[in-house]
């Protein structure tokens, strides 16, 4: 959302305020600092061991007084988080128009990803304006009976944010040097595999399989695996239990956006279950192997920039080995056109809202 916040701030006649829920406090604060955003409202709802029901009720109860005070014409929400769903519902209860950024993504399976597939469907039902990243997302909405006049295909703002940050790194020699010092333990003689993993539907056996796959990959000797480990204890438990003794695997704390982007730029490829990384990696020419059974971003699979590998250890290892050992496959995945936008999504959304 950061690119939209900046675009709206530049427009005369628009008063835009930022409200954060702080569902993930530390990761949020890093992002706000990097993009130079100071929230006007901070709901600070994060509590230890919070449940999905707790998050939903906290957002509804905390956001309603903000909406009553500010009385906006529009509420913008992004993506498929529980915060997105609950904020859209809170605005709907106040009869405030909702603009859904990154609208129309679907897997067709409520269990995968869970609960995100339900979150974005609920957001669609109560939204007035739908900002879709791709034509396929638009078609998904049309198939569900959404008024075509309420849909605008813009590309995804994640690509805007990526270009903003990548350009900043490229122009800042001091920042480049700082990143090099921060990650001076990287081995230039081994190919870097960057890992992200946090999906709820993989908790339990799925994460154990993922970790066993990483352990086996670490035994190759020709790769270095870097895994910024999500703060959720359902992730950290199996990750540290299974991988902490591997000399080829570096388990680190979650990264701020600049550091993560810097590592993406240096990675050979990315092993992920994240939605956004399926767009960010290919935008940088980095293949994405997706540790999920389904994806709401099939455009990347069809374009050849990403590949579904599931959570089975044998399949993950085999797909990674193919990328490491087959130069033709790697070249194809790393040079295919990114289908998720050209970096102008925020401008299009701001113009649409202001117009």
Candidates 30, 106, 116, 279; catalytic one: 116
Beta bridge partners of 270: 194, 288
Q: Taking Cα atoms as reference points, which of 121, 127, 119, 118 lies closest to residue 100? A: 127
Answer whether 287's CB lies under 8 Å from 312's CB. no
Q: Name the residue among 162, 102, 159 with its Cα closest to residue 132.
A: 102
The active-site residue, picked from 30, 80, 280, 299, is 80
198 is catalytic: yes
Question: One of 199, 230, 297, 307 is an active-site residue; which one?
Answer: 230
Torsion of CA 317, 320, 324, 327, to 10 degrees: 130
Which residues touch 178 (CB under 8 Å, ≥6 apart)?
none
Catalytic, 102? Answer yes
DSSP string, 297-315: -HHHHHHTSEEE--S-HHH
Of 295, 276, 286, the residue nearest 159 (C-alpha): 276
Contact (CB, 8 A) for 226 and 195: yes
Q: Which two tokens stand for residue 263?
A: 């590592």
6, 30, 100, 102: which one is catalytic? 102
* Catalytic residue chosen out of the listed positions 7, 129, 138, 198: 198
Q: Is 109 a catalytic residue?
A: no
Active site residues: 80, 102, 116, 198, 200, 230
């Amino acid at each position: 959302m950061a690119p939209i916040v900046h675009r709206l701030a530049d427009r005369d006649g628009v008063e835009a305020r930022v409200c954060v829920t702080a569902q993930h406090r530390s990761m949020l604060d890093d992002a706000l600092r990097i993009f130079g955003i100071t929230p006007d409202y901070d709901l600070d709802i994060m509590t230890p061991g919070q449940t999905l029901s707790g998050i939903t009720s906290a957002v509804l109860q905390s956001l309603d007084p903000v909406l009553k005070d500010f009385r906006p014409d529009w509420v913008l929400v992004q993506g498929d988080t529980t915060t997105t769903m609950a904020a859209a519902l809170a605005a709907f209860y106040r009869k405030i128009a909702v603009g859904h950024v990154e609208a129309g993504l679907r897997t067709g399976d409520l269990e995968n990803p869970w609960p995100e597939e339900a979150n974005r469907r609920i957001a669609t039902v109560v939204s007035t304006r739908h900002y879709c990243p791709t034509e396929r997302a638009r078609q998904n909405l049309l198939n569900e009976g959404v008024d075509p006049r309420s849909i605008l295909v813009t590309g995804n703002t994640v690509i805007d944010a990526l270009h903003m940050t990548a350009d900043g790194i490229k122009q800042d020699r001091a920042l480049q040097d700082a990143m090099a010092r921060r990650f001076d333990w990287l081995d230039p003689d081994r190919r870097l595999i960057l890992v992200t993993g946090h999906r709820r539907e993989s908790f339990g056996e799925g994460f154990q399989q993922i970790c066993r796959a990483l352990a086996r990959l670490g035994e190759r000797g020709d790769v270095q695996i870097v895994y910024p480990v999500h703060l959720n204890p359902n992730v950290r438990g199996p990750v540290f239990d299974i991988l902490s003794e591997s000399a080829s695997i570096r388990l680190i704390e979650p990264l701020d956006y600049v550091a993560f982007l810097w590592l993406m730029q240096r990675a050979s490829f990315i092993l992920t279950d994240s939605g956004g990384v399926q767009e960010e990696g290919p935008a940088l020419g980095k293949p994405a192997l997706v540790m999920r059974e389904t994806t709401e971003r099939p455009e990347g699979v069809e374009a050849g920039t990403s590949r579904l590998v599931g959570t089975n250890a044998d399949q993950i290892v085999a797909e990674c080995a193919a990328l490491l050992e087959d130069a033709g496959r790697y070249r194809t995945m790393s040079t295919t056109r990114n289908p998720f936008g050209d970096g102008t999504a925020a401008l299009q959304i701001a113009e649409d809202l202001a117009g």
